[in-house]
Amino acid sequence: MSEHGNCPICGAEGDGAICGECAEDWLRRLEWLRKEGMPTLRRIAYRQARLDVPAARGAKSAFPCTPLNIEAQQAYTAAETHCQLLAGRLGMKPFGTDRLGRRRTLRQWTWLLPMLEHYMPRLLELPDAPEWQHDTVKICERVAAQATRREERRLVGICPECHASTDADGAEIRTPIYAEHGADYAVCPVCGSFLTLSSVRLEYLKSAGMLHITRTRGDAARWVTENCGVHVTGKDLDNWARRGFLHPKKVEGRYWEWNIEELIKAVREKRSAD
């Protein structure tokens, strides 16, 4: 790599290597595949779970469904193959070669993904690391398309990467980001950025002028549950305030003023603890 240059992925100034933000983004994508994407997709592929809601009354097909969800199985195989090729690029054994002569580790994704996360520094040193990162982005998009219930998605905010740029007319690009309740990450359908939903939601609320909410303790807990996708009770708010995570200001009667940024940070702590 050259001594001086920009990040080959986002173009940020640096030494020509992948910048810290892009490296963290790549790591989060691998982590999402391990924790959410691949386990969910496996269940869908083998019809152990379904995302569509059947109608109360509907016509039955004359032919039984296949034992596998073909599209989900293809996405599952493609994602596992990507992990095997990426591990083969690092020389993880045992390995063979595919029909194109590329080295491919003969392990399943359940073993490979934790190892890839552990050896992220070595991945970043690969001369073709930007191409592999781009392939990981595409794999995450394909897995997310099969493993997310679309009809239950809600508006979280707008993509910050798209919003930082303008279209041909000079207008800001506002790409809406939808996700289901409880989701931690999403992929922008336009630019392909891997987004942390809590950060997207916080920035969206800030842009709308919502830095504080005035609620009772119970209403504030319900607001957090609805907007962050994590079940929170009034007792949780009391515990967070006692531990110094929240600093609500009493307004009148049972009403308090809650700082939205503090609430979202406290939710992150709850998620990490769980």
* pLDDT digit string, tens, across residues 122-151: 999 999 999 999 999 889 988 988 887 654
Say if residues 218 and 197 touch (Cβ distance below 8 Å).
no
26 to 8, 76, 106, 139, 250: CA distances (angstroms)? 13, 19, 22, 12, 43
* pLDDT digit string, tens, across residues 174-219: 888 887 766 778 888 888 888 888 778 777 777 766 678 888 888 8
pLDDT at 116: 95
pLDDT at 62: 46
> Rounded distance, CA 22 to CA 29, Å?
11
Q: Would you tell me which CATH number, out of the four given (3.30.420, 2.20.28, 3.30.56, 3.30.70), belongs to the domain 211-273?
A: 3.30.56
Beta bridge partners of 185: 196
For the chain, where are the E strands, in sequence order? Answer: 5-6, 13-14, 95-97, 103-105, 154-158, 176-179, 185-187, 194-196, 212-215, 249-252, 255-259
pLDDT at 55: 39
Say if residues 188 and 157 touch (Cβ distance below 8 Å).
no
161 to 10, 35, 118, 157, 205: CA distances (angstroms)? 10, 25, 27, 12, 16
Does residue 97 have a pLDDT over 80? yes
> Rounded distance, CA 68 to CA 72, Å?
8
The domain segmentation of the chain, as residue ranges, is: 5-50+66-147, 153-198, 211-273
Residue position matching structure tokens 């009354």? 57
pTM: 0.55
> Rounded distance, CA 209 to CA 203, Å?
10
H or E element in which residue 241 lies = helix 234-242
Tell me the one-letter amino acid at 264: I
* pLDDT digit string, tens, across residues 37-93: 999 999 888 887 766 544 333 444 444 556 778 888 999 999 999 999 999 999 898
C-beta atoms surrounding 76 within 10 Å: 24
Distance in angstroms between the alpha carbons of the first and the last residue of the chain: 41
